[in-house]
Structure 1
Amino acid sequence: MNGKIFEPNQELKDFVKCYWTLDFPREETPQMNTIIPDGTMKLIFHYGDLYWHHPENGDSFLQPRCFLIGQLTRPYIVEPAGDTGTFVVRFHPNGFLPFATIPLKEMENTPIPLKQLYGKNGQALEENILSANTTTERISIVEKFLLDRLTDMKTIDKIVKSIVDTILTADGQISVADISKENHIHRRQLVRKFSSAIGLSPKQLSKTIRLQSALKKLLTEKTLKLTDLAYENEYYDQSHFIKDFREFTGFSPKEFYGDHLKMSLIFDKEN
């Protein structure tokens, strides 16, 4: 299994968190993979075989070869149809807005084909990425595409960016009321700003980041008790922790601890 992470250039650092590639044969990955919400949107290019998506309610379908995945608010189950070869552009929580062509909320839990997002330009981007021979070439192609679309730096909402940084630094352990008070902004106004710039409410982003923090500890601290983990991440009690855990992963912590955890974090290499 081969996964590698790459940094964006300086001009895109405020928008793109990282690039990563995944390359491995079908037999080296579990049949079903759980992608856990992480508060970010991603452009995904499959230069290998495609992936099936298995919705909780609805029929399974093959994902597009190249697409944007909107903000996830629930576990996203995928299954490789063959060998994996994937190039991913991972944006900061508030980083995709300058490149959006439709409201972010309309893309929630949904793969959006590049042609639907960008028309002929999206189709050309897809063809160029898929015909590239190296990751360096793919990064160069996608960065030129993004920089050509980055015409107005005013799309960065400094209040939203500051609050996102606060939520990330606190591992999601901060209330919306405290955020509103500290930033002198009414709660409803804050929710509207987040919905527009991120596609999630402040509460949803905080819950997501807090759960991701707990997942990391599950992975790195093998003897950690669930009760201790719940209190370390400032859940009211263990039942509250289990409820949120099941909402985002589809499993209880004990059910999820084995292969599901390891595979989910492969799809979120840079936390």
Structure 2
Amino acid sequence: MNEAVNELPKGVLHLAGNDSKFSLMRYAPSAETEYFVQHYWIVRWDLRGKEPYHQTVIAHPNVNLVFEESNTRIYGVGKSTSVRVVQDHGWVIGIKFKPGGFYPFLGAPVSSLTDRSASLEDVFGSERRSWERSILSAPDDQSMLSRTEAFLSERLPEKDPNVSLVHEMVMAFRDDRSVIRVEDAVRVTGMNKRALQRLFDRYVGVSPKSVIKRYRLHEAALRIDKGELADWLDLSMELGYYDHSHFIRDFKSVVGMSPEEYRQQRENLTTPST
């Protein structure tokens, strides 16, 4: 049985204000697939009789394979936010590969998928419809997970040692608040700048700078959504920024609005209408 993953869902904007519309469950991979997979995720929604909802996400540095009725796709890493229109009712199941974990399946630079998607046939040579029917018709989460893991287990490539290396680097960038610039990444990894950029282009799909920025903004958006509205200067310092103007500029460049505008938008979502 795949165990549920209890970490907070960073990157899904305003999730706290919309949790009544959706359920999100995440599950750890099996020992057989964990070298490549970070976790599996299942989203269910029921908006029958309601307006379609536009869900905005700051992408993680991970490739996702999403099984969805008539729309199964492999999604590369986006450079900014992406918007998914959710309507009616339904469910999807996704495989979230570790940073670097999809390269052995693709056999080409993961940057070729950046800001785009590919079909199941393009990468795996597998017929989409039969797998959609098999996986999405399963009666419960564990059955869906078992069928999804069966699909992946039959197609596992050889283990590439760079997958572990890249994953460790990305986790270090996520957890070390002193890593803000590419120069900081060079210091932490001990790898020269050009080599590090080439490695990330091939295995992650976006630059080290992009990875660092999105993790800081994931944390910022989550803090705002939870109502932990510290002074912007204090928040920027906690996230490792040297000055709050740099933080505000980064936030706006990715999210499309300032932190203050985002905070106000959250309040509008969570304040009952009269």
TM-score bracket, shorter-length normalisation: 0.7 to 0.9
Alignment partner of 1:131 is 2:137: yes
For 2:241, give the aligned amino acid.
Y
Q: Which residue of 1 aligns with 2:47?
A: 26
TM-score w.r.t. the length of structure 2 is: 0.79
For 2:220, give the aligned amino acid.
A
- Which stretch of the first structure deviates more once superposed, 112-121 or 189-198? 112-121
Cα distance change, pair 262–107 in 1 and its aligned pair in 2 (3 A): farther
TM-score w.r.t. the length of structure 1 is: 0.80
Cα distance change, pair 220–187 in 1 and its aligned pair in 2 (3 A): same
Shift in Å at residue 92 of structure 1? 1.8
Q: Deviations over 1:11-66 (max 9, x none)?
A: 2223222222221212678632211122222112224xxxxxxxxxxxxxxxx611
Q: Runs of 5+ in structure 1 lacking a partner?
A: 48-63, 264-271
Q: Which residue of 1 aligns with 2:103?
A: 97
What secondary structure does 1:218 align onto? helix
For 2:176, give the aligned amino acid.
A
- Which stretch of the first structure deviates more once superposed, 119-128 or 98-107? 119-128
Q: How does 1:27-176 map to 2 (within 5 A)?
A: 31-47=53-69, 65-100=71-106, 102-154=108-160, 156-170=162-176, 173-176=179-182
What secondary structure does 1:12 align onto? coil
- Which stretch of the first structure deviates more once superposed, 118-127 or 202-211? 118-127
Q: Which residue of 2 aligns with 1:11?
A: 32
Shift in Å at residue 160 of structure 1? 2.1
- Which stretch of the first structure deviates more once superposed, 233-242 or 116-125? 116-125
- Which stretch of the first structure deviates more once superposed, 15-24 or 185-194? 15-24
Q: What is the rounded CA distance, in whole Å, between the counterparts of 1:233 and 1:114 in structure 2?
A: 38
Q: Deviations over 1:216-268 (max 9, x none)?
A: 222334332222111211223222212211222122212223666999xxxxx
Alignment partner of 1:200 is 2:206: yes
Cα distance change, pair 127–155 in 1 and its aligned pair in 2 (3 A): farther
Q: Runs of 5+ in structure 2 lacking a partner?
A: 1-21, 270-274
What secondary structure does 1:72 align onto? coil
Shift in Å at residue 80 of structure 1? 1.7
Cα distance change, pair 118–262 in 1 and its aligned pair in 2 (3 A): farther
Shift in Å at residue 174 of structure 1? 4.2
Q: Deviations over 1:80-112 (max 9, x none)?
A: 242231212222222222222553112112232
Shift in Å at residue 199 of structure 1? 0.6
Q: What is the rounded CA distance, in whole Å, between the counterparts of 2:246 and 2:103 in structure 1?
A: 32
Number of paired residues?
247
